[in-house]
Amino acid sequence: MCGIVGIAGSYEGKENILRDSCRKIAYRGPDSQGVWLSQEGQIGFGHVRLAIQDLSVQGHQPMASADQRFMMVFNGEIYNHLELRAQLEQSAQAPAWRGHSDTETLLACFCAWGIAQTLKKAIGMFAIAVWDQQEKKLTLARDRFGEKPLYYGFTRQGLVFASELKAMMDVPGFEKTLNRDAVTLLLRHNYIPAPHSIFQDVFKLPPGTWLSLSEQDWQNRRKPEPQVYWSAYETARQQPKVHYESDDAAIDALAGVLSRSIQSQLISDVELGAFLSGGTDSSLIVALMQQQSAQAVKTFSIGFHEKKYNEAEYARSIAQHLGTDHTELYVSANDGLALVQSLPAMYDEPFADSSQIPMALVTKMASQSVTVALSGDAGDELFGGYSRYQRAASWWDRREKTVPLVRSLVASAAGKLAPGFGGNKKDKLQKLQEVLRATDAVDFYRQFVSYWKDPSSVVLGGRELATAFSLAPIGSFLETMMIVDTVSYLPDDILVKVDRAAMACSLETRVPLLDPHMFEFAWGLEDKYRVRDGQNKWLLKQLLYRLVPRSLLDRPKKGFSVPMGEWLRGPLKDWASDLLDPVRLRKQGLLDVAQIHERWQQHQAQQFDWSPHLWGVLMLQAWMDHYDIQG
């Protein structure tokens, strides 16, 4: 796990620029730092390394291919790189290996098969920049699901790219011009979906794509369209359903594919552990890890003193049953308050999933004992696990049973009545109007999971840009929700949350459920294996019941959340009140003061819990303060 930066164009003092950018993300790779400039001087790479495979200097980056054609910086892990090496050796295309790093493997594959074919063969998480000295082309690439981040954009001098925005902000010519359209998306989703970013002329490379740029491209500030080498949406849409002779056969199949994924992700030259929340996904990952380990797996949990949010006691019971080496940390409101001040620097683009707080705390705790941690993320997206899926399905069924004329009349009435109410009633009427007027299942789900229902009315001069919510529905309504979350919420919220929190304390995280074979298996399932008799993630749970007693598992899911509503009325109230001060907001000229002030007042009066909506605004304001960004 590492951090990468790069520039291309007419920058003065490229080496100093790159070294300064590397220092800003040194926590992503504290073990070593490297800089490379092309002979012509038009392009340069910087790299900070967290050594996981091949801890020797043979794994140092930037790294050149054996024939010197390709130069690369790479952030991530290629789990099947030993298999790729074997393929090269069998076809007599392997170089004389210098070490055993996956970086060297990738470069040899580029020489043998080309970049596009290598990306299709590689299984892992990665953000890559490759300079082809022969073709004079720069290629940027990102893994299938977006586990590793990659930003790129243009300045007056040329191109700049990096793992994180803070590495780009002080590059000469970089204009920190706020993208009001992205702010509008932030208030709807509490994250900014790819390919958009908080800055104008800066983009996120979408998952599963690569981008090739020539000197003419960066000289003319021309942005070619990213090329798709793998698509979660198309893979899901085209995946044939598999018929299993029995439920046990389906459970066995899951056990096989998930165990193989976990085994491939245990490759490491440093110590590994796992997060254990006590929920289905993390418990299953840990149980299968422990099956493959001769030693007690190190596991880590976060607990809360507020009982309705606390799952640490369940995690502890599961850890005891599995025999793991377990560590837990209880979080207080004061812990949250202390951490809030550092969130803008950690998530250097406005990001407002409040579970970023416990995530930052559990990764910091884990980093004191291990360098790599496996997580159970993606189980909800692949196996229909979110509780909102059942709520949304109930609304959708009722909507579909209502004739179009009645839907139109009720939506119109709700729209007319909403302005006459405040708080909860107004929000519910607006939500009713929107879901009734939705054009299809995707648009319906977008309305259902939105925070601010009309964010363009909150952001002055803002409009909404196209996102994954413009995709066509596929399969069942459940599958439509799952795939939309897989291509938007998963990469732009869940994986961002984990990557930034973990990298801030130099911890690598891995997600076994995001192996492409695992994804294909999950999308080959019929809905009855996802939800059955009101139980979501049915198949995952059946496998887990073979490994952990039901008595330790069967309980309502609490989620990885914090009591933000209470905190904003208590220990975080003064901090939030300053950021939401109407005088400040009016002077800033970015947001509609009346709407924000109304919700803040209603929240303080306990008329309604507006904490998710307010948290998006607060994270935006805190970020603008930290980086001195003007509206």
Evaluate whether 272 touches 52 at the Cβ level (below 8 Å): no
Domains of the chain (ranges, CATH numbers): 2-230 (3.60.20.10), 234-385+482-552 (3.40.50.620), 387-478 (no CATH), 564-627 (no CATH)
Task: Reply yes or no on whether 22 is catalytic.
Answer: no
Residue 335 is predicted with a pLDDT of 80
Cis omega (within 30 of 0) for bond into 350: no
Which residue numbers in the chain have pLDDT < 50?
A: none
First to last CA, the chain: 34
Residue 122 is predicted with a pLDDT of 98
- How far is Cα 110 from Cα 376, in angstroms, rounded to an integer? 32
pLDDT in tens, 433-451: 777 888 899 999 998 999 9
The dihedrals phi and psi of 41, each to the nearest 5 degrees, come to 80, 5
Q: Given strand 158-162, what is the order of strands in its sheet?
A: 32-37, 43-49, 2-9, 158-162, 151-154, 202-204
Cis omega (within 30 of 0) for bond into 240: no
- Catalytic choice (2, 22, 109, 111): 2
Evaluate whether 45 touches 35 at the Cβ level (below 8 Å): yes
The dihedrals phi and psi of 313, each to the nearest 5 degrees, come to -65, -35
- How far is Cα 292 from Cα 288, in angstroms, rounded to an integer? 7
Residue 618 is predicted with a pLDDT of 98
Indicate the pTM of the whole model.
0.94
Evaluate whether 299 touches 319 at the Cβ level (below 8 Å): yes
- How far is Cα 600 from Cα 611, in angstroms, rounded to an integer? 9
Burial of 586 (0-12, 13-18, 19+ CB in 10 A): exposed
Residue 338 is predicted with a pLDDT of 85
Burial of 293 (0-12, 13-18, 19+ CB in 10 A): middle
Residue 304 is predicted with a pLDDT of 78
Evaluate whether 207 touches 487 at the Cβ level (below 8 Å): yes
Cis omega (within 30 of 0) for bond into 404: no
The number of residues making up the chain comes to 631
Q: How far is CA 46 from CA 32, 137, 547, in A?
A: 11, 17, 45
Residue 303 is predicted with a pLDDT of 84
Q: How many CA atoms lie within 13 A of 337 on its CB side?
A: 14
- How far is Cα 619 from Cα 623, in angstroms, rounded to an integer? 6
**Region label for 589, one of left (φ > 0), alpha (ψ between -120 and 50) or beta (otherwise):** left
Residue 40 is predicted with a pLDDT of 86
Strands 2-9 and 158-162: antiparallel
pLDDT in tens, 403-440: 777 777 877 776 676 666 666 666 677 667 777 888 89
Provide the β-strand partners of residue 273: 298, 373
Strands 372-374 and 272-275: parallel
Residue 419 is predicted with a pLDDT of 67
Q: At what angle do helices 538-545 and 280-291 cross, to 10 degrees?
A: 40
Residue 59 is predicted with a pLDDT of 78
Cα angle, residue 587 at apex, residues 585 and 592 outer, rounded to 5°: 40
> In whole angstroms, how large is the CA radius of gyration of the chain?
24
- How far is Cα 342 from Cα 501, in angstroms, rounded to an integer? 11
